[in-house]
Amino acid sequence: MRILIADDHELVRDTICAFLSNEPDLKISAAADFDDAARKMADEGPFDLVLLDYEMPGMNGLGGLEKAKELNFGSPVAILSGTASRAVAEEALASGAAGFLPKSLPAKSLIHAVRFMVAGEQYAPVQFMTEKEERSVHPLEEKLTQRELEVLSGLAAGQSNKEIARSLDLQEVTIKLHVKTLCRKLDARNRTMAAMIAKDAGLF
């Protein structure tokens, strides 16, 4: 089986090639960027599997995936990445990638994944695809309670205290107290300024 590994990081590329070269039935070729990989697919292809680094020069996101699928005459093309999110992985798989392989994948799992994809199956590590991604917390959110954020959202939407009270099922006087606290925490002179601060910060 002929495998093409394309990655602009020499150490990563050499390490993956070394892992796979230990398998007697695998013949490994390497490329340093997408243009290099495209030349090899045109001159030596199709390969039984092409592994493309998502971040390498010439990839243009998943645009490189589509080109590689054509250049490899429909034979499997998969994405490698050390930084791409689960959303990118899902998009790649939906776009017809043979698989998505994090660079942190253990050697044995990498070999298993390669054989799986060459056999025509789609591969993605279950743990990577199911683990919850940590959501970054906005600095303003750290200052405010959940209720204050809800009131601030109403202010940013241009609602009156009465409208906010109705939507949150609270008394209007309670909303007035929250607005006062918000103005103090956000160093805003009034409710309009508090709303502007939230919008300018990209909170809503």
Q: What is the mean pLDDT of residues 111-122?
A: 93
Distance CA(162)–CA(60), nearest Å, equals: 50
Residue 33 belongs to domain with CATH number: 3.40.50.2300
Distance from C-alpha of 20 to C-alpha of 28, rounded to nearest angstrom: 7
Question: 193, exposed or middle or buried, with CB in 10 Å at 0-12, 13-18, 19+?
Answer: middle
Reported as a pLDDT band with limits 50, 70 and 90, residue 126 is confident
- Looking at the 3D structure of the chain, how many domains does it have? 2
Question: How far is it, in rounded angstroms, from Cα 92 to Cα 143?
Answer: 37
C-alpha 194/C-alpha 191 separation (Å) is 5
Q: Residue 52's domain spans which residues?
A: 2-130
C-beta neighbour count of 25 within 10 angstroms = 6
pLDDT digits (tens, 9 = 90+) for 14-62: 999 998 999 999 999 999 999 999 999 999 989 999 999 998 999 988 8
Q: Partners of 99 in the beta sheet? A: 123
Mean of per-residue pLDDT scores for the chain: 90
CATH of the domain at 171: 1.10.10.10
Q: Which of 34-43, 110-119, 139-148 has the lowest mean pLDDT?
A: 139-148
Domain shared by 116 and 145, yes or no = no
The pLDDT value given to residue 132: 54
- Answer whether residue 2 shows pLDDT above 90: yes
Summarize the confidence of residues 158-185 as an average pLDDT: 93
Rounded Cα distance, 37 and 195, in Å: 51
Q: Are 131 and 172 in contact (CB under 8 A)?
A: no
pLDDT exceeds cutoff 70 at 136? no
